Each structure stands twice: as structure tokens, then as C-alpha cells.
Amino acid sequence: MEEMTEWKKMRSGIVYDWTDLEIDRSLTRSRLACERFNRSGIDHEDYREALENMIPGVPRSVTILPPFHCDHGNGLHLGEGVFVNYNGTFLDAADITIGSRTLIGPNCSLYTPQHPIDYLQRRKTLESAFPIRIGEDCWLGGNVTVCPGVTIGDRTVIGAGSVVTHDIPSDSLAAGNPCRVIRSLT
């Protein structure tokens, strides 16, 4: 059996070396694309081209307000009509999938990478990454942080300032640190 590349390990939730050359090239490409996007601004004529360069395959109906930062861009999968307000940070070492018509408030952070708990392992250039999935028609208030491996169901509202550390079901109003379901929206 062929040995997996560090890139494939990264996208598969397996411990990987983040200093790998292929990963480094992707990070560099993304940093440059983010810099261009953030200089562009939503009202500039090159906004859409800069957005599509930063996030390949992004639907034309998606709006992201700069500044915005991502690790790779190619791990972001955004549905139609997604809106991301100012200061989004989406670290997409693993895939981040956001369903159609979802609204992301200002200063929201979606983190897929996870460093080792053991300090000796943390001294190495190793980490793992776990995908984040956010359903359709969701709303994340300002300053929400979503941790690695979390799924948020369809039509769910996450209150401002929440830290989402575990899955939240569809049709829920949830808030807090750690985020918990307050009530059903059905």
C-alpha cells in the first residue's frame, strides 16, 4: 500500500506534518490570495475575481466582506447565497462546508486544525484537522468560534460570542461557552 502524502493525511484527519512542501505551497498561495482579496474590497471591480482566486469554485451568489483569512481556500465549500461578515477566519486544513443561505456574523472563526494535547508532541511540527459542517439557512452571530470536527444542523442559530465545541442539531437556538442548545426552533 502506497504511503499517504502529508496533504492526504491532513484532509483525512490523520496526524500530519504541517511543514510539508505541498502544504507550504498551498499556504503561501492562500496567503497571497487573501492579501489581494483584502486589498480589493467589496466595492472594487476586481472583488469577484479576487474572491474566486482565494476560494476556487465559490458560487457567484456568495458574499464575503474583507478582511478575511483562510489557510488554503480550496477546503472551503460554500453554498449559494452564503454571507460572511467582516473579519472571518476560516482555517481549512480539513474541509469546511457551509450550506446555502447561511449567514456568518463579524469576527467569526472556524478552526479545523487541532494541535496535540501532549506538550512533547506539540513541540514537533505535527497536528491533525477535522472537518466542520454548517447546514443550510443557519445564522452565526458575531464572534462565534467553531472548533474542529463540529457539525451544526440546518436552520440553527448560534448566539453571539458562543464557542461551539460539539455538534448542535438542526432547528436549534444555541449559545454560550461552551455552546449548548437553549431551545428548539420548531
Is the per-residue pLDDT at 37 higher than 80? yes
Identified catalytic residue from 44, 69, 77, 115: 115
pLDDT digit string, tens, across residues 119-133 = 999 999 999 999 999
Cell of 109: 472563526
- The pLDDT mean for the chain works out to 97
Q: Catalytic: 166?
A: no
Global pTM reads 0.96
